Structure 1
Amino acid sequence: MKKLLLTLLILCTGTYTSLCAEETDPDLQPTIRAEMSTTKKIARKPIKKLRKKPRKRPVIYHHYYTTTIERNCDSYINIINEKNKEIEALTKEIKNLRENKYEIMRQQLKEAYDKELKKFEER
């Protein structure tokens, strides 16, 4: 049913466009008269004064810049190396604490398991 309706729609559209599409006579084409094409456009004066576009960045009036001196870079590198050593020491300490905590938890679980096993064997 859908295919039948689709074919009818295409057939009717095709026949209608083929009958309605006619070739126009070139003498009937509209032409622009010369006196109309040279007319001046009337320009209206603006009511308000045009506003300037705002600047995208603020104007910087000072011309002094702070720069880092090359000899200060060594001190920065030393500070960074010290901080890295502190970070490594703290990560090792955290790892050791976690291992100790896990060991304590293992012992507690093992004791609880042994108690439950003794209760089960006594029955």
Structure 2
Amino acid sequence: MTVVSNICMILGAGFLLVAAIGLVRLGDPLQRMHSGTKAGTLGTALLLGGVTASDMVEGRASAFLAVLFLLLTLPIGAQLLGRASYLSGTRLKGIEDDPLADHLDRPQPSEEDHQE
């Protein structure tokens, strides 16, 4: 069982590293939000699963509840962050035609946002 738990912990740490790199390297807030929530949740779940499978801790229920809490709250938080970012007028990289322009009032990005 220790081999499985070590593999889970290494994979979890790897996904958390990918999430951290994505937060620093990706271009706009929507991409950063996606990296932090998806890879971060998977990495945390794998890490907690590996720790509980290794028989080093007694709190299996606590780890299960922590993963359940992440799975229930992070999609909602990501939706709210993405909506706030969009409605604040943040420039979105790679999107030429805005499909929500007719449905949501959004300030247009300034010319300073287009300069890099």
TM-score (norm 2): 0.26
**Greater helix content:** 2
Structure of higher CA gyration radius: 1
Higher relative contact order (CA 8 A, sep 6+): 2
